[in-house]
Structure 1
Amino acid sequence: MSSTPSPTPERPTIGVFDSGFGGLTVLRELLRLVPHARYIYLGDTARLPYGSKSHETVARYAVSSAHFLADQGADHLVIACNTATALALDDIRAALLIPVFGVIEPGAQAALSASHKSLFRSAPERTKQVDGGAEKHASPTTSHHAPPPKPAHALVLATSATTQSHAYTRALTALGLRATEKACPLLVPLVEEGWISHAVTAEVLRIYLLEALCEAPDASILLLGCTHYPLLRPLIENTLHELHHPMYVIDSAEATARAVSALLPPSASTEPPASTFYATDSIEKFQRLGSAFLGHPLNEVHLLDLGG
């Protein structure tokens, strides 16, 4: 097994891991926002799904994956897995001496940023129609008796394991936002089947959104709490349009990449990104599915045995 070259201050080595393929959407955004870095991606496909495992087992799997990436030279680590972030972030940070990023907190922070726009749009002093249709903004001081607006409401679509952890609810409420989590267990297998724009997927998504909006009719922010879901973003936005319920859509994969980018120093490097891929099961399947998640072919993937 070839070792990754030692990092330089201008060219960090970023390890990224997930239980499978979804974390490649995080890597896709990292490649766009931090193009000068080296990347090592590990998909622990032999031990997925993490969501059906106990807290202790997930932590053990995640820490072993994190140690592998650190041993390969990673000087930053991104947990590109919602379940591992929810259940093992503290364990991983305790086990490593390098900066560790999860996907939940950046998504919650992005929702907070979007909430300021949502609150303005939904406040009592929002745009009014006057003078035959011309728009005029009412002054915030128009009414001295109007109650303050409620905190923005974020709807989180995620897997059953992530919603059961309530990690997004904790992160969002800590920032002063209201949160409703909706488990969407059928979406991951549909995405992995390649049915990104299939009529069946569209109908399943429509049902999930209708159910969620019955619970959270005033939700103005939609947070994609699974790294598979960015592939469904066009379908999600189209469905929201059809339901006449526009929302700010937050992609936690993109939010995580922005959080990593913000903490790395600017680089003058003109070298293209370099990526090395590992999987703990079926190389052929990882290349086939991974190419769809990453947006370009995966020509070489190394098979890795991390044990049980």
Structure 2
Amino acid sequence: MEQGPIGIFDSGYGGLTVLREIVKVLPHHDFLYLGDNARTPYGNRSFKTIYEYTLESVKYLLNEGCPLIILACNTASAKALRTIQQRDLPGLAPDRRVLGVIRPTAEVIGQYSQTGHVGVLGTSGTVNSESYLLEIKKQSPELKVFQQACPMWVPLVENGEHDSEGADYFVEKYLRELFSQSEKIDTLLLACTHYPLLIEKIMTRIPAGITVLNQGEIVAPSLEDYLNRHPEISDFCLKNHQLRFLTTDETENFNKKAKTFFGQSILSEFVHL
């Protein structure tokens, strides 16, 4: 295995919010971001389709020399990661690794709750997979987890409507439905990488004292810890401060929207999977 960049995959733009936090923690590393914008969103697609799309993207990043790939997409992590890790990767590249965003989050969420009641806001695909229910139960079996699908949030963010009055309606709607399940919820997990763009609206519509977790801020230090514990992977991660951005759709539109998620201007390249 030769040295290469760390691959970051997402179905579209949302993974850029995770990459933004990772770059803060690991500024010297090289990263290769791939957004499958031509086929986004993944949230309402079948397990089979999401697995096939994710595997195609993983194969592309492996061919680009990535020793480590992070599935920054919660839906892909929920519906494709385990199969890729257990069935595909041993035959494709047994010396490389593919990780997701669900387990690192599940490992720490219990540290933030005093009531033992936590809420998970995610896409329909993530919620229906019950991946967070299973992972959190493994790590903190005493916690009571309440899930709420928010199918309109990703389209609103993707179309630049996250500051609109229409977004106000759907933020209130899904939060109301979540808290109707339990008034004791004191910790909210934004289990989709698009949702940090709605955090200001969310904060103004929840009771005071509730902790809202941005996944990127959890995944970034978790990745740093993983690399420290696994020199057999870390040694093959390039450290030249370089970032590349790939999209399966039109680059001009990707560059324009990506700034909202990543916080700075970028130049992307088109790829066909």
Give the TM-score, by structure 2 length: 0.88
Letter aligned with residue 130 of structure 2: H
Structure 1 gaps of 5+ residues are 1-5, 120-151
1:42 — aligned with what?
34
Q: Do residues 209 (structure 1) and 175 (structure 2) align?
A: yes
Q: Do residues 31 (structure 1) and 31 (structure 2) align?
A: no
2:156 — aligned with what?
190
Give the TM-score, by structure 1 length: 0.78
SS of 2:204's equivalent in the other structure is: helix
2:98 — aligned with what?
100
Equivalences for 1:127-138 in 2 at 5 Å?
none
Q: Do residues 291 (structure 1) and 259 (structure 2) align?
A: yes
| Aligned residue pairs, count | 258
1:157 — aligned with what?
121
1:221 — aligned with what?
187
Letter aligned with residue 241 of structure 2: P
User: Post-superposition shift, 1:245?
Assistant: 4.5
CA distance in 1, matches of 2:208, 2:149: 19
Equivalences for 1:100-119 in 2 at 5 Å?
100-115=98-113, 118-119=114-115
- Decide whether the 8 Å contact of 1:18 with 1:42 is kept in 2: yes
CA distance in 1, matches of 2:102, 2:45: 19
- Decide whether the 8 Å contact of 1:221 with 1:250 is kept in 2: yes
Off by >6 Å, runs of 4+ in structure 1: none
Q: CA RMSD in A?
A: 2.1
Taking a change above 3 Å as real, the CA distance of residues 235 and 273 of structure 1, as seen in their structure-2 partners, is farther
2:269 — aligned with what?
302
Deviations 1:60-94 (A, max 9, x none): 21111111112212111100111110111112213
Deviations 1:147-172 (A, max 9, x none): xxxxx111011111111111111112
Relative contact order higher in (CA < 8 Å, ≥ 6 apart): 2
Q: Do residues 264 (structure 1) and 262 (structure 2) align?
A: no
CA distance in 1, matches of 2:38, 2:48: 17
SS of 1:50's equivalent in the other structure is: coil
CA distance in 1, matches of 2:51, 2:125: 14
1:234 — aligned with what?
200
- Decide whether the 8 Å contact of 2:11 with 2:39 is kept in 1: yes
User: Post-superposition shift, 1:272?
Assistant: 6.4
Structure 2 gaps of 5+ residues are none
Equivalences for 1:160-171 in 2 at 5 Å?
160-171=124-135
User: Post-superposition shift, 1:43?
Assistant: 0.5
2:70 — aligned with what?
78
- Decide whether the 8 Å contact of 2:187 with 2:212 is kept in 1: yes
- Decide whether the 8 Å contact of 1:172 with 1:178 is kept in 2: no
Letter aligned with residue 53 of structure 1: R
CA distance in 1, matches of 2:208, 2:150: 19
CA distance in 2, matches of 1:262, 1:230: 23
CA distance in 2, matches of 1:49, 1:273: 30
